[in-house]
Amino acid sequence: MSDRDDPVTIGRRVQLLRVERGLTQKQLAEPAYTPAYISTLEAGRVRPSDDALRHLSDRLGVGFEELATGRPARLVIDLRLRLTEAQRTLATGEAEAAAEQYALLLAEAESFDLGEVRAAALLGLGECSLETGELEEGRRYFERAGEAFGDVPLPVRVPALRGRAVSHYLAGELRYSVYLLESTIDELNRAGLHDPDALLLLYASVIGPYMDMGAHARAAQAAEFALALAPQSGDPALVARMHRSVARTLIAEGRVAEADASLAKAAELYRQLQLRTELANCHWMRGYVYAQNGQLERAEDELRQALTMLTARRAALYSSQAAVELADVLHRRGKSEEAAVLLHDVLSDLSPERGALHSAAAHRLLGIIAEDARDTESAEEHYVRALSLLERAGAAGDLADLCRLLGDLLRRTGRVEAALDAYRTGLGHRTAPGTTTLGPAPAQPSL
């Protein structure tokens, strides 16, 4: 066995077990070996063969693996079963309970030096941290998971790399998130490592940052690749996540019916898998689709359902995003006071380092509400704060729109030069919408 302990450790273990069972070296050795061999083995001066270990394990009444490695016979199997249970707990939205399970698994994996289980537990802890909005903590878990994987093939390390990228994305660091995802995609495709699950996970994850940066062409291309890879994936949760991400590009292209159909497929898969948080995100995205299509009452119903589910699961950042979308629908339906209260609640839970894009969206909408109420001073303040957050995140498309809003406000209040500056800034972002500032697109997959 490649992970067998060294001869000295095995020798001490054999001696301890022999003494515990009241056996002499002669009794342990018979009939296949001599007492002198047992004495040499217990002193750590000889590396026992597999045949010798099997003989000793039979005589001592322990498993071969336990004698060779010090691990209880069913340890690895039991840990994997518990990993599955922790994954199910997280999938049903109980992130804090899942984190406790993963933490216990991590401690046991480290005590027995089980690298594979350790990496899986660290990945799980990272996902729990993303769920609860602890982005810096999540990032550290994903980095440790990548280290725990060691020199395994790249497709195995993809979930850890993707987790790091998502933690940067949710923190508003769009460009670095895209860099991590694109470089991994490029390395997989150029090396011919055609792993459908790994590529599907990466393409589905990069759509969000692309869209927020205004790189709609790349988002659409990533969606096409994801859809082409989906039939090859054996992971229904991954396919469901892909359908939810692809819907964003379909919305941007005005393909509302297709977007709704894609989200319906995702929702059905998530219902089957009981992935509550992802199912809530599907309700959020469907609400967004209905809002874009002017079906505000249906949009409000879907978004309220999403917000209720996400709040119950304590998925802080995702619930903040759903709350901003719901506030937008409420404002459009004439419920501006309720919308403002909801937005202020969102801002109390966020910071520039934790949910910059969501904070910017909240300030933008509060600015619009203030403008409608003819409170230009408050409107300008919210627009400027949103502008600062979006500049930090590099969200080109949103920046251009915000500069237009700010420019219009400045022009209406007689500050023409300041308005022109705002418009010029917006045009600058509009003419460089990611596709010209992200560098070459990654190599295409072999489909």
pLDDT in tens, 314-331: 666 778 888 988 999 999
Summarize the confidence of residues 373-378 as an average pLDDT. Answer: 93
Higher pLDDT, 130 or 87: 130
Element (H, E) at 284: helix 276-292
Give the pLDDT confidence score for residue 354 in this predicted structure: 66
Summary mean pLDDT of the chain: 83
- The mean per-residue pLDDT over the stretch 367-389 comes to 92
Q: Which of residues 393 and 298 earns the better pLDDT score?
A: 298
Strands of 226-329, DSSP E: none
Q: Is pLDDT above 80 for 88? A: no
pLDDT tens, residue by residue, 225-257? 887 887 777 677 777 777 877 877 877 777 777
Reference 325, options 355, 356, 367, 296; nearest CA is 296
- Whole-number Å distance between alpha carbons of 303 and 359: 18
pLDDT of 435 reads 35
Nearest Cα neighbor of 372 from 332, 402, 400 is 332
Assess whether pLDDT exceeds 80 at residue 2: no
What are the CA-CA distances from residue 326 to residues 120, 184, 266 (Å)? Answer: 36, 35, 21
pTM over 0.75: no
Q: Are 174 and 167 in contact (CB under 8 A)?
A: no
Higher pLDDT, 247 or 55: 55
Q: Is 427 exposed, middle or buried (0-12, 13-18, 19+ CB in 10 A)?
A: middle
What own/partner pairs with CB < 8 Å and gap ≥ 24 does 19-22 have? 21/60, 21/61
pLDDT at residue 447, rounded to an integer? 56
8 Å CB contact between 331 and 346? no
Which pLDDT tens digit goes with each residue over 266-294?
777 766 665 666 667 778 778 888 888 88
Inter-CA distances, 190 with 185, 195, 223, 444, Å = 9, 12, 20, 8
Question: What local confidence, expressed as pLDDT, does residue 376 receive?
Answer: 92
Please, is 103 exposed, middle or buried when counting C-beta atoms within 10 Å of its C-beta (0-12, 13-18, 19+)? middle
pLDDT at position 353: 63
Decide: 395 and 357 in contact? Cβ < 8 Å.
yes
In this structure, of 16-30, 107-121, 207-221, the range with the lowest mean pLDDT score is 207-221
Tell me how many degrees the CA angle 425-402-250 measures, rounded to the nearest 5. 110
- Is residue 144 scored above 60 in pLDDT? yes
Peptide bond into 31 cis (omega under 30): yes
Q: Is the pLDDT of residue 65 over 90?
A: no
Task: Provide the 10 A C-beta neighbour count for residue 383.
Answer: 26
For residue 433, the model assigns a pLDDT of: 40
Residue 432's pLDDT band, with cuts at 50, 70 and 90, is very low
Using an 8 Å Cβ cutoff, are 178 and 213 in contact?
A: yes
**Residue 124 pLDDT exceeds 50:** yes
Structure-model confidence comparison of residues 254 and 424, the more confident one: 424
Q: Which residues contact 77 (CB under 8 A, 6 or more apart)?
A: none
- Phi, psi of 354, deg, nearest 5: -135, 90
Q: What pLDDT shows up at residue 183?
A: 93
As a whole number, mean pLDDT of residues 5-10 equals 86
The identity of residue 66, as a single letter, is E
* pLDDT > 90 in the chain, percent: 32
* Percentage above 70 pLDDT, the chain: 88
CA separation for the pair 146, 163 (Å, rounded) = 10
The pLDDT of residue 266 is 77
pLDDT at 196 over 60: yes
The pLDDT score that the predictor gives to residue 301 is 94
User: What pLDDT shows up at residue 224?
Assistant: 83
Question: Any idea which residue has 């988002």 for tokens?
Answer: 219
Please state, in angstroms and rounded to a whole number, the distance separating the CA atoms of residues 45 and 38: 10
C-alpha 255/C-alpha 248 separation (Å) is 10
Give residue-wise pLDDT tens across range 403-423.
Answer: 889 999 999 999 999 989 988
